[in-house]
Amino acid sequence: MNQADNFGTNLLSLCKTDQSFSHICRELGINRQQFNKYKSGQHLPSRRNIATIAAYFGVSEKDLFLEPAAFNRIYGSRDNALLRIANYAAGFHDFNDAVKSAAERIGDIVGVHFRYQVSSIYAGKVLRSIQYFYVRDGLLFYDYIERFNSLDIGSKHAFTFRYRGFCSLLDGKLYMFDLERGQQNEHTFAIMTPIARKPREFIFGIMSGVAANMSREAFATRLALRKIDNGPVRGSHIRQSSTLAFDSEEIPAEVRNYLDIAGGGQGRMIRGT
């Protein structure tokens, strides 16, 4: 198979995890007729559209060109596994109506956000990730992508983590739970408070998780979200995910104050084994 055939077959596999081709095309902003040519292997997308498609499905751009067998070994089990687990969990159905109602009441949160937190593995750094909220099958989901810079060459990208989660708005609080999609052994949980300002720009809260370092210690820290786009998530968004110095001008003053890193602060982090 050539590159176009590999791309088309792999794209078709990814599409099976979504609602419909029409929905995907609307989210991607790609003409349906052109998209059909991509998935049939007749044409390869432009570099910009390849980045857009990879970002939407949360896969690596280069992996889209793998032999389909190799691609399926990596991504074949990613079809909403978290949702399937939740559906079989005891008591989930009692929670289901509340989860679905969140998707109806949280419209201005849907979209692309910067996600700021003091890094649990890079001392003295703020991790700026990309988080995308979207509604699917009546439920509110999100993806977020962490990209860490090299410690030796600060501007060089070192490694990436990708998470998928679902959330609900209960009693004015946004509850989020997610699972890392590569190793599937890391997760985070957060409770956020949407700020009652119009337009709503920031959401502040607390998250907990397990650090991706050698000791694999549990941690809890403050978390801030800032909406930057209505979506869908694009390659230009993902490239802005990075680690930033505490005094970086790319971190809004409101976020620096909330994370307690302004004026020489070292941030708020609770660690445990």
Residues 97 and 67 in one domain: no
Nearest partner of 224 among 198, 199, 195, judged by Cα = 195
Structure tokens at 168: 């609900």
SS3 61: coil
Mean pLDDT of 59-82: 75
Torsion, CA 7, CA 9, CA 13, CA 15, rounded to 10:
70
Residue 262: Cβ within 10 Å count: 15
Instruction: Report the predicted TM-score, pTM, of the whole model to 2 decimal places.
Output: 0.63
Residues 34 and 59 in one domain: yes
- Residue 69: its H or E element: helix 68-75
Residue 26: Cβ within 10 Å count: 12
What is d(CA 217, CA 54) in angstroms, rounded to the nearest whole number?
A: 31
Residue 15 · residue 39 · CB < 8 Å: yes
Mean pLDDT of all residues belonging to the chain = 82
Residues with Cβ within 8 Å of residue 181, at least 6 apart in sequence: 58, 78, 162, 163, 164
Residues 68 and 106 in one domain: no
Structure tokens at 107: 């419209």
Residue percentage of the chain with pLDDT more than 90: 33
Inside any domain, residue 204: yes
Q: Which residue has the tokens 């983590």?
A: 161
Residues 30 and 140 in one domain: no
Q: What is the pLDDT of residues 3-61, one digit of tens each?
A: 899 999 999 988 876 668 888 898 888 999 999 999 999 999 999 899 888 888 778 88
- Residue 207: its H or E element: strand 202-210
Mean pLDDT of 64-84: 70
Q: In this model, does residue 78 exceed pLDDT 60?
A: no
Q: What is the CATH number of the domain that holds 226?
A: 2.40.128.120
Q: What is the CATH number of the domain that holds 9?
A: 1.10.260.40
How many domains, the chain? 2
Q: What is the pLDDT of residues 248-265, one digit of tens each?
A: 999 999 999 999 998 888
What is the domain range of residue 176?
93-272
Task: Please report the pLDDT score of residue 89 as a whole number.
Answer: 53
Nearest partner of 224 among 190, 250, 265, 188, judged by Cα = 190
